[in-house]
Structure 1
Amino acid sequence: MFGEIMREITSFESIDELLTDGGWEFDVDNSTDDLATWFYPPSGIDTEDETVETVTRIWVGADSEDVDDSDLEWHVIFVGAGDGAIDYIFSAESLVENLLTIEAYRLGDAEPDFQG
């Protein structure tokens, strides 16, 4: 039963709902048939440097329609990231567990300490 509940909570649709209900915006301009991305407006910065990420972003892609939601890799890129920045990768469960830490990050903060 726990496994069924976890699969439901960590489905693509559930995570999309969790993100958008939490203030994340689905990025229509940068999403494609193979890639979905959201950004967190409260983390935003103003910069003229086009090589710097201006918001914290979450993205997920699938190589095939046969990929199960539980196998998806959720990527996080923090505001201020540039070339060579760390692309944090989470399972769906780990993303949910660490979402508050991700949302709390602001440019200049120390590297987050993730759970799990």
Structure 2
Amino acid sequence: MSKRGDAKKARRRKRLGGTRRVPDAIVAQLSAIPDGIVADLAEFDERITARDWTFDEEQSDDDYAVWFFEPSGAQVDDGLPVTSLWLDAAEDGAIVRVVLVGTTTPHPFTHAQLFEHLEAIETYRNGDPVPEFG
């Protein structure tokens, strides 16, 4: 399916089903990870979805938990059609990687750093100068 089709499908899912949370099946798959980390994942999900990020069930799997910021969506020639972030199970979700709409470069953040820069990430639109996250 095309990037545009994926974005349209995600918008429809959000409109029909409200804000998605990390499904129980994904949390169950993560049960091999220490309890504190799973609790952190649930807290992270609550915090991020409260800011209009959507959990991406299609892109998430045993290795990655992925969210996207639908208001950033754009038709792009290269890069992602929407700003996305993900946690890697191999890193116990300690690092949040963000790829801005229309780009392919991941920006790594700790959870604290992410929330310090989240407003700049959310206001970024395709074609804007990429913020400096120093």
Query: Structures share a fold, TM > 0.5?
Result: yes
Residue type of the partner of 2:97?
H
The residue number in structure 2 matching 1:20 is 49
> CA offset at residue 34 of structure 1?
1.6
The list of structure 1 runs, each at least 4 consecutive aligned residues, that deviate by more than 6 angstroms after superposition, is none
Gaps of at least 5 residues in structure 2 are 1-39
Give me the identity figure in percent. Answer: 37
Aligned counterparts, 1:51-90, within 5 A? 52-63=79-90, 67=92, 72-81=94-103, 85-90=104-109
Structure of higher RCO (CA pairs closer than 8 Å, 6+ residues apart): 1
The TM-score with structure 2 as length reference comes to 0.65
CA distance in 2, matches of 1:103, 1:14: 19
Segments of structure 1 that go 5 or more residues without pairing to the other structure are 1-10
Aligned residues: 97
- Bigger helix share: 2
Please state how far the C-alpha of 1:91 moved relative to its aligned partner.
Answer: 0.5
Question: Per-residue displacement from partner, 1:72-96 (whole Å, max 9, x unpaired)?
Answer: 1100001002xxx321000111011
- CA RMSD of superposed structures (Å): 2.2
